[in-house]
Structure 1
Amino acid sequence: MASCNVVKYKELDIVYTDISNASPEEAMVVFDENQLIISKMPLKSVYALVNAKDARFNSSLIQKIKETVKKNNPHSKATAVCGLNALSRLMVNSIIAFTGRQMKLVETEEEGKDWLYKKYQEAAVVV
């Protein structure tokens, strides 16, 4: 079932958005939930992971993703996206280029969590 919630990975809180196997309509509801959760968090504090394995996309969902990325950008520190096929990767790469967001496409959830944790550790060293 598609959902969005905060999960703990080591000492890092990650906003986990799971749209795996979701229809575009189901995913759009989850991205609304994602925006609501992230809007309540401090600026430049959010580490996010999106699982899009076998999700189905249409033009409305792509528009919703662009809107979500734009609204969440001030709150975002880093985002990892896993489970994309080749066509979806092209689409997300164009969103990354369009928004300038620090985002990485990864193969698995675990790889995404590890990358986000590394980014968290790097930020902690800089502070």
Structure 2
Amino acid sequence: MSYTKVIDYKDIKIVYTNIVDTAGSEAVPTFDKVQKLVAEFPDKSVLSCVNATNARFNTELLSKIKETVKKNNPKAKATVVCGLNKLSTLILNSIIAATGRQMKLFNTEEEGMAWLYEYEMQTTEIAASA
């Protein structure tokens, strides 16, 4: 069952989306929820992690992901996607190119979350020293 929620990871808030083991259209309603959730945040503030381990993509889901990425772009600070196989990585890279969104890809959720944490710490330090 796919879902999205705000989680705390080492005292930072992350919009976490889990589409693990989903098949195509199954995950579409989750991305509708992601759009609503992210809309509540200030611009350039959202740290986001999508766990897509063993997810299977179809045309409907890819279209929804593109829509979500474009709609959430103003709110996004950093996004990681975890658990993609080689084919899914190629597909996501095409979405990244089409939307202009900066995303980092990681093999595991833990790697992605750790990167988000480090990114947040670095950008917070830079902002504090400016």
> Is TM-score (shorter-chain normalized) higher than 0.5?
yes
Aligned partner of 1:27 in structure 2 is 27
Retained in 2: the 8 A contact 1:78–1:101? Answer: no
What is the CA–CA distance in structure 2 between the aligned matches of 1:100 and 1:25, rounded to whole Å? 24
What is the CA–CA distance in structure 1 between the aligned matches of 2:100 and 2:64, rounded to whole Å? 17
Please tell me whether residue 12 in structure 1 is matched to residue 17 in structure 2. no
What is the CA–CA distance in structure 2 between the aligned matches of 1:98 and 1:117, rounded to whole Å? 27
Percent identity of the aligned residues? Answer: 54
Output one character per residue of 1:4-23: Cα deviation in whole Å (capped at 9) or x when no partner: 00111011100000000112
RMSD (Å) for aligned C-alpha atoms: 0.8
What is the CA–CA distance in structure 2 between the aligned matches of 1:26 and 1:42, rounded to whole Å? 29
Question: Shift of the alpha carbon at 1:63?
Answer: 0.5
Retained in 2: the 8 A contact 1:53–1:84? Answer: yes
Within-5 A mapping of 1:1-127: 1-127=1-127
2:29 maps to amino acid: V
Work out which of the two has the higher radius of gyration on C-alpha atoms and give 1 or 2.
2
Question: Shift of the alpha carbon at 1:89?
Answer: 0.1
**Structure 1, unpaired ranges of 5+:** none
Question: Shift of the alpha carbon at 1:125?
Answer: 1.4
1:58 maps to amino acid: N
Retained in 1: the 8 A contact 2:25–2:58? Answer: no
Question: Shift of the alpha carbon at 1:69?
Answer: 0.1
Question: Shift of the alpha carbon at 1:31?
Answer: 0.3
Retained in 2: the 8 A contact 1:52–1:84? Answer: yes
**Structure 2, unpaired ranges of 5+:** none
Question: Shift of the alpha carbon at 1:118?
Answer: 1.1
Q: List structure 1 segments (4+ residues) > 2 angstroms apart after TM superposition.
A: none
Question: Shift of the alpha carbon at 1:34?
Answer: 0.5
TM-score (norm 2): 0.94
Output one character per residue of 1:72-112: Cα deviation in whole Å (capped at 9) or x when no partner: 00000000000111011001111112222221000001000
Q: Match of 2:77, SS?
A: strand
